[in-house]
A and B are shown apart, each in its own frame.
Chain A
Amino acid sequence: MKTLIKNGRIVDPSQQLDQVMDLLVEDGKIAQAAPHIDAAADEVFDATGLVVAPGFIDLHTHLREPGLEAKEDLVTGTMAAAHGGITRVACMPNTKPVIDSSIVVSGIQERAQKEGYVHVEVIGAITKGEKGKELSEMGDMAQHGVMGFSDDGHYVSSAYVMNLAAQYVSAFDKPLICHDIDEEMNHEGFMHEGAVSARLGVPGIPSIAEDICVARDAAIAEYTGAHIHIAHIASKGAVDIVRQAKARGVNITCEATVHHLTLTDEACAGYNTATRVSPPLRSWDHVEALRKGLKDGTIDAIVTDHAPHAPEEKDVEFRYAPNGFCGLETSVGVVLTDLYHTGEFSINEIVDKMSTSPARIMDLDAGSLKVGRNADITILDLDREWTVDSEKFYTRGKVTPFDGKHCKGMAVATMVDGRFVMKDGVVCKK
């Protein structure tokens, strides 16, 4: 099987490449990249005027399987990824049961291989049942190919347990992905604490609830040498802490979500449950600090934190709604609209933060269009205008704070292992 992608602007930060070229894909691998390729191909894709990038990677996704299929499953979740131009997702372990043993890890890998539309990396739990008490079998899960470990949705509130986990996992070269918001402070609040929460009367979560935890985990990373990756960093204080730790050579990385990079707590003003998320949407000074951190390399990856819920769970009073919303199908459009077209970030920087850099920090064989690598490719039309319509989503959880947003730029084709899984907004039959 040969596919020839003609005349696209190849943007590949892994090779510092940005030029119009042809790309030949053969048997699921990148076979050749050259200004003009004349090869007999089974399919020719005309990429004139389009950007051809290494497949986008989302390090933070909730696929909800097993156990929470009313929200999402491996099929709908990976279709949503394909639709959004994402070729690889890492799924979080806060499922029912929790992904805290190798047998569950293998089960998800096997089913994703069979039914999924994109690659699925599995993240195992740090502690048994994500309860923050006893270490899960991280060694066994590491040997069965997890990307890393996280108790996402929960802060490992015991510093003792977290330090133990970091010491233990350092032998397996896998990161601990930390959901860093103090549980007690978080439990009392429902949005960012500030002028907007004061006005709305909604109990606030202070941004220091995040800073305090990130400071602790940076210290643990420094002390143990383990790789700590801060999930969905959202406060300016936390960005500063990571920046300082990196400057000292600490083995720490972090990611920011599309919504924390683009929305503020003003979005909560109408009590729209689509704006309920943890960490909460913060004020503009925090958003600016995140963009600065993304620019200077403090923040390594842009993620979605795609967290779908069933409609009846979100169609309730603000305070009663669960945290999270879907993000796989809006991330490319929102990022291109609000970060690229505003002139703040180049397309090279965006591709780096959504593909090359996440692959590098998580040691994934992905994020590059070098010859011989997996043909996972995201093709972008930077100028295509469209409006977010959640009814057209493939995900089961339709709720998003971006519904109705006018976007400029979208993923027009997604290729996984040399096969198109999405073309022109339509997910291809498997």
Chain B
Amino acid sequence: MKQDGALARSLFQRTVTIGGYNMTKAAVSLSGRDILDLSSLSVEEYDLIMRTAAEMKKVMKRDIKKLPSLRGKSIVNLFYENSTRTRSSFELAGKYLGADVINLSTGTSSVKKGECLKDTILTMQSMACDAIVMRHPVEGAAKYAADIAAPIVINAGDGAHAHPTQGLLDMFTILEHGKQFKGLKMAIIGDILYSRVARSNIAAWTKLGADVHVAGPMTLIPHDIQELGVTVHKRVEDAIEGADVVDVLRIQLERQDKAMFPTPREYARIYGVNEERMKLAKPDCLVMHPGPMNRGLEISWDTGYSDQAVIREQVTNGVAVRMAVLFLTIMGGKPVENAN
């Protein structure tokens, strides 16, 4: 693993060479910004989040991992879809920063009584919360909420559209391994159609100059996806060959009632990422997965535990990145170095 300093310089190198731009002066700020997707953030803003997350990760390694940065601030985790890791990750991120965090899920709120999203958002706003972290099953819900709400809205996943903090934690993990995106071959494998993770990573990785390849059953590859600047492969092997990063997407078995592919068995045989197929990638290729994994389906048992797999690092980095996002949006872009 590279040093934090390398991480801090990573994305930012380009800007330095272009204009001697000094990030410690915090030329960009995310103060008060809604984080809805990654295409609306600039490379400089990615960089600010990455550098802040690196500092946050140090905090996570402390014995007492609590900062007072968000003391007196309140965050609502509003989850319209089941989630274990994203919700816990946001909750811990908020708590490590000293914020008050409450969790609302559809099973326990007035949503069950038929309240519309608009009224739920306005209710949260009336209780003076500072940020709403929202997970919702349909695309555009985060934008809709942000248009209504005065508090900051952090999209924790809206349908198949975007999952910006997942994209950011993937970016952090890749950078931490010294991979600087430009010219790298990134392979995204599996269910692109229903994947907000895929869309977030495609948006960020193409913006950072990587060469993005996708493969999976053609029924799960959106029509015209190549217009987003990615290369589509019919064979998984062609996408993985020579890759620097293989991002394996979760097959959403709950959607299998639509029968997008014949059987899980056939999927694993033809599209599953396994040790054999990973031999085609570069030796130092990273294997990523947003979790939870269906082992033996989209990813084989060994591959999930192999040396190339950085899946558990992704989880750790998720907390750090979410701390960074909450800190930067709620408190503003005050450089962490100076804060220390």
Contacts and interface: CB of A to CB of B under 8 A. Distances in A.
Interface of A: 188, 193-195, 197-204, 206, 270-271, 312, 315-320
A206 B223 contact: yes
B140 A198 contact: no
Nearest to A315: B118
A204 B223 contact: yes
Contact of A201 (B118, B159, B224): B159
A271 B222 contact: no
A320 B158 CA distance: 13
A255 to B, nearest CB: 27
B188 to A, nearest CB: 13
B161 A201 contact: yes
B228 A199 contact: yes
B313 interface: no
B322 interface: no
Interface string B125-140: 0000000000010111
A198 B222 contact: yes
A198 B222 CA distance: 6
B222 A204 contact: yes
B117 A317 contact: yes
B222 A200 contact: no
B160 interface: yes
11 contacts: A195-B228, A198-B222, A199-B199, A201-B158, A202-B140, A202-B159, A202-B160, A317-B117, A317-B144, A318-B140, A319-B140
B196 interface: yes
Interface string B232-262: 0000000000000000000000000010000
A312 B139 contact: no
A118 B141 CA distance: 40
A201 B162 contact: yes
Interface SS of chain B: mixed
B321 to A, nearest CB: 21
A357 B139 CA distance: 41
Given A316-B117, A318-B144, A198 B136 contact: no
A188 B223 CA distance: 14
B139 A319 contact: yes
A312 B116 contact: yes
A201 B116 contact: no
Given A195-B224, A201-B158, 12 more contacts: A193-B224, A194-B227, A197-B223, A199-B228, A200-B140, A201-B159, A202-B160, A203-B160, A203-B193, A270-B140, A271-B140, A316-B118
B196 A201 contact: yes
A194 B223 contact: yes
Q: Chain B CB within 10 Å — which of A204, A206, A270, A317 has the most?
A: A317
Contact of B136 (A194, A195, A312, A317): A317
A267 to B, nearest CB: 13
Nearest to A204: B223
Contacts of A201: 139, 158-162, 196, 199
A255 B194 CA distance: 35
A197 to B, nearest CB: 7
A113 to B, nearest CB: 39
Interface string B261-304: 00000000000000000000000000000000000000000000
Interface in B149-167: 158-162
Nearest to B196: A201
Contacts of A315: 116, 118
B73 interface: no
Contacts of B228: 195, 198-199
Contacts of A270: 140, 143
Q: Chain B CB within 10 Å — which of A193, A201, A271, A319 has the most?
A: A201
Nearest to B162: A201
Given A271-B144, A316-B116, A202 B227 contact: no
Contacts of A204: 222-223
Contact of B223 (A193, A271, A317, A319): A193
Contact of A194 (B118, B158, B193, B224): B224
Contacts of A203: 160, 193
B231 to A, nearest CB: 14
Nearest to A195: B227
Nearest to A206: B223
B225 interface: yes
Given A202-B160, A316-B116, A271 B224 contact: no
A317 B140 contact: yes
B116 A202 contact: no
A318 B143 CA distance: 10
B37 to A, nearest CB: 10
Interface string B198-216: 0100000000000000000
A202 B141 CA distance: 11
A198 B232 CA distance: 13
Contacts of B225: 198
Nearest to B202: A199
A256 B199 CA distance: 34
B241 to A, nearest CB: 24
B161 A200 contact: yes
Q: Chain A CB within 10 Å — which of B136, B144, B161, B162 has the most?
A: B144
B200 to A, nearest CB: 10
Contact of B139 (A195, A202, A316): A202
A320 B138 contact: yes
Contacts of B158: 201
A202 B224 contact: no
B224 A318 contact: no
Contacts of A200: 139-140, 161
A200 B161 CA distance: 5
A247 B225 CA distance: 36
Contacts of A318: 138-141, 144
A270 B146 CA distance: 12
Closest 6 CB pairs of A and B: A271-B140, A201-B160, A201-B161, A195-B227, A198-B222, A319-B138
A188 B222 CA distance: 13
A198 B225 CA distance: 6
Contact of B159 (A193, A194, A312, A319): A319
A306 to B, nearest CB: 25
B227 to A, nearest CB: 4
Contacts of A316: 116-118, 144
